[in-house]
């Protein structure tokens, strides 16, 4: 999910071969609810924007797992995949 438009998500999805819908939140309301948008420090300066995080939502709509602040983007996907494989 990001503040990017649906059109931008569709283009990105095509380019990356993603076979599921990407969510657009132009007002950042859902992102704020999950703690994924707000004040952060970037390059030593305070700013407001997207906070890299991951939320796994189960089929019933409940939050199964939440990583509120992803520190290592390079290794995080493997961590999420490992979690999902165990479910």
pLDDT digits (tens, 9 = 90+) for 43-84: 999 999 999 999 999 999 999 999 998 988 899 999 999 999
What are 16-22's contacts with CB under 8 Å, separation 24+?
Answer: none
Give the domain range for residue 55: 25-85
Number of domains present in the structure of the chain: 1
In a domain, 12, yes or no: no
In a domain, 54, yes or no: yes
pTM of the complete model: 0.75
In a domain, 3, yes or no: no
Assess contact for 54 and 79: CB atoms under 8 A. no
In a domain, 11, yes or no: no
User: Is residue 21 very low, low, confident or very high in pLDDT (cuts 50, 70, 90)?
Assistant: confident
Q: What is the CATH number of the domain that holds 79?
A: 3.40.30.10
In a domain, 17, yes or no: no
């Amino acid at each position: 999910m990001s503040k990017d438009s649906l059109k931008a998500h569709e283009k990105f999805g095509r380019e990356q071969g993603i076979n599921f819908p990407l969510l657009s939140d132009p007002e950042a309301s859902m992102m704020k609810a999950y703690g994924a948008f707000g004040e952060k420090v970037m390059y030593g300066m305070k700013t407001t924007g997207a906070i890299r995080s991951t939320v796994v939502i189960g089929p019933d709509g409940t939050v199964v797992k939440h990583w509120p602040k992803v520190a290592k983007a390079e290794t995080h996907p493997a961590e999420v995949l490992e979690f999902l494989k165990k479910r």
